[in-house]
């Protein structure tokens, strides 16, 4: 902390009031891997709690909308779209969650997309932990970001 400038030593929201309102879009993903036995149970029986992927989808959408309440210093945003999708990888016994978030605003929606996939994966974990407590959530990553002064980012 000694080497930081005085302004940087205190937490605070970034002032975005002078930024232009543009369409902001972000896409993020993460992967949950489970045992072969648990994956087969997921495919065949699901969870005693109900529909795993539909519940995870709703949880991801709710998380994107609540990001500013979860992560300090994130601006509250009026989201235009949150889309959550899942891809099943039968070979790896994995579920990849992808979130696309869109808004018209002065700041990006990367944190909303990353929060959405994280919470969706945590929901899958919660609903399937009865079958496998060794599940791994990994590769939480931003895939795309567009809008704003910094331009477009695409993970290669």
Per-residue pLDDT of the chain (156 residues; tens, 9 = 90+): 455 555 567 888 888 888 889 999 999 999 999 999 999 999 999 999 999 999 999 999 999 999 999 999 999 999 999 999 999 999 999 999 999 999 999 999 999 999 999 999 999 999 999 999 999 999 999 999 999 888 899 997
Q: What is the largest CA-CA distance in the chain?
A: 58
Which stretches does DSSP call E strand in the chain? 22-33, 79-89, 94-105, 136-146, 153-154
What predicted TM-score, i.e. pTM, was given to this entire model? 0.91
Where in the chain are the domains?
21-147
Say whether 126 is catalytic: yes
Pick from 79, 154, 72: which is nearest to 116 by CA?
79
CA–CA dist 47, 34 (Å, integer) = 14
Contact partners, residue 123, CB within 8 Å, separation at least 6: 52, 55, 56, 59, 60
| Residue of 51, 89, 126, 154 marked active site | 126
**Architecture, CATH, for domain 21-147:** 2-Layer Sandwich (3.30)
């Amino acid at each position: 902390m000694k080497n930081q400038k005085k302004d940087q030593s205190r937490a605070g929201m970034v002032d975005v009031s002078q930024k232009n309102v543009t369409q902001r879009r972000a896409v993020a993903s993460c992967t949950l891997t489970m045992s072969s036995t648990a994956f087969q149970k997921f495919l065949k029986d699901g969870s005693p709690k109900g529909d795993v992927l539909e519940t995870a989808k709703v949880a991801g959408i709710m998380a994107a909308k609540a990001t500013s309440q979860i992560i300090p210093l994130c601006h509250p945003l009026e989201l235009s779209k949150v889309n959550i999708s899942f891809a099943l990888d039968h070979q790896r016994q994995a579920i990849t969650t992808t979130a696309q978030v869109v808004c018209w605003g002065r700041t990006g929606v990367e944190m909303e997309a990353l929060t959405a996939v994280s919470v969706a994966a945590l929901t899958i974990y919660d609903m399937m932990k009865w079958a496998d407590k060794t599940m791994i959530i990994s590769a939480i990553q931003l895939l795309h970001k567009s809008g704003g002064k910094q331009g477009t980012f695409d993970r290669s």
